Chains A and B, each alone.
Chain A
Amino acid sequence: MNSKTAFYILKRILLAILTVWIVITVTFFVMHAVPGGPFLSEKAISASAQAALEAKYGLDKPLLVQYGTYLKDIVTKFDFGPSLKQRGRMVIDIIADGMKTSVKLGVIAAAIAGVFGIVLGAVAALRRNKLIDKIIMVITTAFVSMPSFIMGSLLLVLFAITLGILPANGAARGGLVLPIITLSLYPMAYITRLTRSSMLDVLGQDYIRTARAKGVSSMKIIFGHALKNSLIPVITYFGPMLAYIVTGSLVVEKIFAVPGIGRAFVKSITDRDYPMVMGTTIVLAVLIVVMNLVSDILYKIVDPRINLE
């Protein structure tokens, strides 16, 4: 790793920290710009009770002081304050609870997407313009342009209601199968297309022709040269894939009633549970930013030829 790469990595880390800080700041001020504040609910409460509640949650202090405390609590203690609607629970505990299910969901979906995407992409590239290539391309085109909530609903109708072979409820036994499939189809289709085009690109390179001319077996060419090099662009998709899985899980967890972070987030929005909305937004944003950072740095290290600027 030369100094230029190190400088690049440093710069990306600083940008990531800046991004996280901006997310926290925007989230905080946007949430506090809502008229009426969080306690203005349908039920009228007395002025003294309102004041007592605001004092308890520190809402009577000047906005900047509140902001300072909020930022400090996050950085030092990962503390996002108490939830307003789920009495007596801290936001971070609710998030940690939901994460257990959601991480499992997301990691399995990403793994399936990666493995199947790369295999299908390689097959399509090696059988270019044959029937199997065309079938793969048609199917992936359909998957790429289908919003996740539609994919999820259609799978639910097909497998849980019409055929009745898989449970529709995400909390039931085997209930995560349909959510995982739903979440993995779009990234899988995307990775397939990415692998196919980069594999075709690599197969046209001079060093592949040289290897062929030397008499290297085609198996060795595919696995030793072509596949390895054509996977480099796929690395860049890791970050966006995680972003997709995070936002997709909001929808998928709603459809299949999975007790995960996505459903908690959507519920907190409709409940106007502001600390919960803020906390979840920030945690998910950090996750996405970090993943983008990792995939960018990996990309740079794996292929130093690439100038990312």
Chain B
Amino acid sequence: MKDFKDIRKAFSMHVDLDDFIPATDEEKAYMVQMRPSSTFFRDGVKRLLKNKVATVSLIIIIIITLSSLLIPLFWPYGFGEQLGIQPGKPVDSSYGNLKPFEYGKTEQERIAAGEKVFPHIFGTDERGRDYFIRVVYGTRISLAVGFFASIIVLIIGMTIGSVAGYCGGAVDLVIMRIVDIIYSLPDMLMVILLASVLKKTLGSALEGTALEKIGTNIISLFIVFGVLYWVSMSRLIRGQILSLREQEYVLASRAAGAKGSWIIRKHLLPNSISVVIISTALQIPNAIFTESFLSFLGLGVNAPMPSLGSLASDALNGLSSYPYRMIIPAVVISLIVLSLNLFGDGLRDAFDPKLRN
């Protein structure tokens, strides 16, 4: 009998009023989305941190950068300081070519007298300069050159590329032909040629200005980068702008009534900025590599300033007796280039999944 009653109730038109009671706060809280929606940037960072190789590379880069910035602050020796030369005294040749953790004559006397002398961890070079601090400064200069050269390339490439992309037509055609020609030039040869000439030409032009301090060679390196390496960046940005403009989601957004500024802010920028950042990041090791190459050929930074390339180049002369002087800058430079490349790859995988292959 009881079952029959239930069936009757199910078929009846009666409405259960309990279903229409307003929800309590507790019930409302249950329906709220459990996780706050993630932004594009936060998503990318999360993916990046999941990538172990990229994270380790990032940590290595940070450690190298920080130590190149901080160690000179407390290190008792300067990068150009020749320890054997004291004012008013004859040159003390015992400071030249010290092996790691050896001391010069006067330093040994001071140690014998009970004083504490800061050790030369990597020894000294043939002029009696502390090698460790030279490697640190060389790292700093190589990193700085790489960073600023990439920024220069980014600015020039972005400007020209976006002009070509936006204007289209004849402007685009002319710019792209110029890009084609610069692209087909043998870049390294042109870099060497320009660097060797600018080095001489700039010397007189820069005299007395603030730029003189940086050194003609680094300035000419920046000019070379500005002249030659913007092409791939501008090609990339032009392509991005051209293809993004035609994307369906841009059309959909426009159809839904979005204004131009909204489309640029919400669609074009976030979609192209990742490509720009990634290729800038990948440009840095390239620039560091080029700088060290030029320094190795004697076209890099001005003496006595060290760079990792010039340190390696100097080490060639005493290679059989002091191979570690070659190996130390070599290891540092390989570590920097490798970790920047791996980090750039990780950045690409995290922020631009379309490029992943």
List A residues at the B interface (Cβ < 8 Å).
Answer: 15-16, 18-19, 22-23, 26-27, 30-31, 33-35, 141-142, 145-150, 153-154, 156-157, 161-162, 197, 243, 246-247, 250-251, 254-255, 266, 269-270, 277, 281, 284-285, 288-289, 292
Contacts and interface: CB of A to CB of B under 8 A. Distances in A.
Contacts of B281: none
Interface in B331-345: 333-334, 337-338, 341
B190, B292, B315 — which one has the most chain A CB atoms within 10 A of its CB?
Answer: B190
Main secondary structure of the interface of B (DSSP, over half): helix
A106 B315 CA distance: 26
Contacts of B309: 149
A153 B292 contact: no
Contact of B297 (A30, A35, A269, A292): A269
Given A147-B333, A269-B297, A161 B323 contact: yes
B290 to A, nearest CB: 9
Given A147-B337, A266-B297, A288 B186 contact: yes
Interface of B: 180-181, 184-186, 188-190, 192-194, 196-197, 200-201, 204, 285, 289, 292-293, 296-299, 309, 312-313, 315-316, 319-320, 323, 326-327, 330, 333-334, 337-338, 341, 357
B184 A251 contact: no
Main secondary structure of the interface of A (DSSP, over half): helix
A294 B330 CA distance: 35
A157 B326 contact: yes
Given A35-B201, A289-B186, 9 more contacts: A23-B189, A145-B337, A154-B326, A157-B326, A161-B323, A246-B189, A247-B188, A277-B193, A285-B189
Nearest to B192: A269
B330 A153 contact: yes
B273 to A, nearest CB: 26
Given A153-B326, A266-B297, A19 B184 contact: yes
A172 B299 CA distance: 28
B337 A23 contact: no
B308 to A, nearest CB: 9
Given A35-B201, A149-B296, A285 B186 contact: yes
Given A35-B204, A149-B292, A149-B309, A30 B186 contact: no
Contacts of A22: 181, 185
Given A34-B201, A145-B341, A154-B327, A27 B193 contact: yes
A30 B191 CA distance: 12
A275 to B, nearest CB: 13
A172 B190 CA distance: 32
B197 A161 contact: no
